[in-house]
Amino acid sequence: MNSVSAVVLAGGEGTRLRPLTQHRPKPMLPAATTPILEHVFDQLLAAGVTEIAIVVGYGRNRVQTYFGPTYKNVPLTYVTQKNQFGSGHALLAAEDEVDGPVLVVNGDQLVEHGIITDVLDAHRKTTTAATLGLLTHIDVGEYGGVLLRDGQVTTIVEHPEDERPYRLNAGVYLFDSRIFDAIRAADPHTGEQSLIDGIQELLASDAVVQGVISDGLWTDATYPWDLLDVSFELFEAGIVDGSKGATTEASATIHESAVIREPIVLGPDCEIGPGAVVGPYVCLGDNATVGSNAVVERSVVDADTRIGAGATVVDCVTGVGVTIGNGTTIPGGPGDVRVGDRIFEDEHLGALLADHVTDRGGNTYVPGAIVGSDAVVETGATVRGTIPEGTEVRP
Amino acid sequence: MCGIIGYTGTERVASDILLTGLSGLEYRGYDSAGLSVSGESLMVYKRRGEVSALEAAVPDEGLDGTAGIGHTRWSTHGPPTDENAHPHTDCTESVAVVHNGIIENDQSLRDELEAGEHTFESATDTEVIPHLIENALTTGASREEAFREAVSRLDGSYAIAAVFSDSETVYAARHESPLVLGIGDDGHYLASDVPAFIEYTDRVVYLDDGQFARINPAGIIVTDAQGAIVETAIETVAWDPEDAGKSGYDHYMLKEIHEQPRAIRQCLRQRVTELDGDVTIEELASLDCDGPVQFVACGTSYHAACYGAQLLREWDVSAQCFLASEYDAASIPVSDGTLVVGVTQSGETADTMRALRAANRTGATTLALTNTVGSSAVRECDHAMLIRAGPEISVAATKTFASQQVALAMLASVLSETCSAPPVKRLRTLPDQVQWVLDTSNARSIAETYEDADAYFFIGRGYNAPVAREGALKMKEITYKHAEGFAAGELKHGPLAMVSDRTPVFALVTGDATATRTLGNVTEVEARDAPVVAVTDSPADVDRYVDHVLEVPTAGPRLTPILANVQLQLVAYWVANRLGRSIDKPRNLAKSVTVE
The partner residues of B215 in beta bridges, in order of sequence, read B170, B220
Q: Which A residues 243-302 touch B at CB under 8 Å?
A: 251, 253, 255, 268-269, 271, 273, 286-287, 289, 291-292
User: Rounded to whole angstroms, what are the CA distances from A391 to A88, A368, A386?
Assistant: 37, 18, 11
Which chain A positions have a beta carbon within 8 Å of B246's beta carbon? Answer: 69
Give yes or no for B435 touching A (CB within 8 A). yes
Q: Mean pLDDT throughout A53-69?
A: 88
Which chain A positions have a beta carbon within 8 Å of B429's beta carbon? Answer: 304, 306, 321
Length of chain B: 596
Between CA B172 and CA B160 the distance in angstroms is: 5
Query: Cis (ω within 30 of 0) for the bond into A263?
Result: yes
Length of chain A: 395
More confidently predicted of A303 and A252? A303
Q: CB atoms < 10 A from the CB of B512, how many?
A: 11
Going along A29-141, which residue ranges are E strands? Answer: 30-31, 34-35, 51-56, 70-71, 74-80, 102-106, 109-111, 130-135
Q: Do B247 and A67 touch (CB under 8 A)?
A: yes
Give the pLDDT band (50/70/90) at residue B75: low
Contact yes or no for A199/A183 (Cβ under 8 A): no
Q: Do B265 and A269 touch (CB under 8 A)?
A: yes
**B156-164: strand order across its sheet:** B88-89, B95-103, B156-164, B170-175, B212-216, B219-223
pLDDT at B29 over 60: no
* Strand pairing category for A271-272 and A253-254: parallel
Model confidence over B102-113: pLDDT tens digits? 787 888 899 898
Between CA B553 and CA B559 the distance in angstroms is: 10
| Res A323: pLDDT | 94
Tell me, what amino acid is at A120? L
Give the pLDDT band (50/70/90) at residue B340: very high
Q: Do B275 and A292 touch (CB under 8 A)?
A: yes
Measured N-to-C along each axis, helices B299-314 and B399-415 cross at an angle, to the nearest 10 degrees, of 30
pLDDT at B195 over 80: no
**B319-323: strand order across its sheet:** B319-323, B293-297, B339-344, B365-370, B383-386
CA-nearest of B416, B372, B51 to B238 is B372
| Res A69: pLDDT | 77
pLDDT at B434 over 90: yes
More confidently predicted of A1 and B444? B444
Residue A44: its H or E element = helix A36-46
Model confidence over B498-534: pLDDT tens digits? 888 899 999 999 877 677 788 888 888 888 889 999 9
The partner residues of A334 in beta bridges, in order of sequence, read A348
Entry pTM: 0.77
Which residue out of A66, A251, A269 would a mutagenesis test of the B interface target, given it has the greatest number of B Cβ atoms within 10 Å? A269
Q: Do B273 and A286 touch (CB under 8 A)?
A: no
Which residue out of A23, A78, A287 would a mutagenesis test of the B interface target, given it has the greatest number of B Cβ atoms within 10 Å? A287
Contacts of A75 (CB under 8 A, 6+ apart): A51, A52, A69
Q: Do A251 and B433 touch (CB under 8 A)?
A: no
Range in A80-89, B236-245, B525-534 with the lowest mean pLDDT: B236-245
Q: Do B259 and A355 touch (CB under 8 A)?
A: no
pLDDT at B582 over 90: no
Which chain A positions have a beta carbon within 8 Å of B435's beta carbon? Answer: 23, 320-321
Give the pLDDT band (50/70/90) at residue B426: confident
Give yes or no for A127 touching B (CB within 8 A). no
Q: What is the mean pLDDT of chain B?
A: 86
Give yes or no for B426 touching A (CB within 8 A). no
Q: CB atoms < 10 A from the CB of A80, how many?
A: 13
Q: Do B270 and A320 touch (CB under 8 A)?
A: no
Give yes or no for B242 touching A (CB within 8 A). yes
pLDDT at B594 over 70: no
Model confidence over A198-245: pLDDT tens digits? 888 888 888 888 888 888 888 888 888 888 988 888 888 888 887 776
Between CA B404 and CA B521 the distance in angstroms is: 29
B46 catalytically annotated: no
Give the pLDDT band (50/70/90) at residue B481: very high
B91 catalytically annotated: no
Contact yes or no for B391/B195 (Cβ under 8 A): yes
Q: Mean pLDDT throughout A357-361?
A: 94
Continuous H helices in B221-292? 252-258, 260-268
Give yes or no for A356 touching B (CB within 8 A). yes
Which chain A positions have a beta carbon within 8 Å of B274's beta carbon? Answer: 271, 289, 306
Residue A149: its H or E element = strand A144-149
Between CA B391 and CA B244 the distance in angstroms is: 7
Which chain A positions have a beta carbon within 8 Å of B438's beta carbon? Answer: 61
Residue of chain B whose Cα is closest to the Cα of A54:
B248
CA terminus-to-terminus distance, chain A: 64
Tell me, what amino acid is at B571? V
Which chain B positions have a beta carbon within 8 Å of A68's beta carbon? Answer: 240, 242-243, 245, 247
Which chain A positions have a beta carbon within 8 Å of B249's beta carbon? Answer: 64
Give the pLDDT band (50/70/90) at residue A1: very low
Half-sphere exposure of B234 (CA within 13 A, CB side): 10
pLDDT at A40 over 90: yes
Model confidence over B148-182: pLDDT tens digits? 999 999 887 788 999 998 888 999 998 877 788 99
Tell me, what amino acid is at B501? D
Tell me, what amino acid is at A188? P
Contact yes or no for A201/A179 (Cβ under 8 A): no
pLDDT at A363 over 80: yes
Q: Mean pLDDT throughout B69-93?
A: 81
Between CA A379 and CA B360 the distance in angstroms is: 55
**Closest Cα of chain B to A353: distance in Å?**
15
A78: nearest CB among B248, B259, B270? B248
Q: Do A289 and B245 touch (CB under 8 A)?
A: no
More confidently predicted of A33 and A305? A305
A286: nearest CB among B240, B265, B438? B265
Catalytic residue among B399, B476, B585, B591: B591
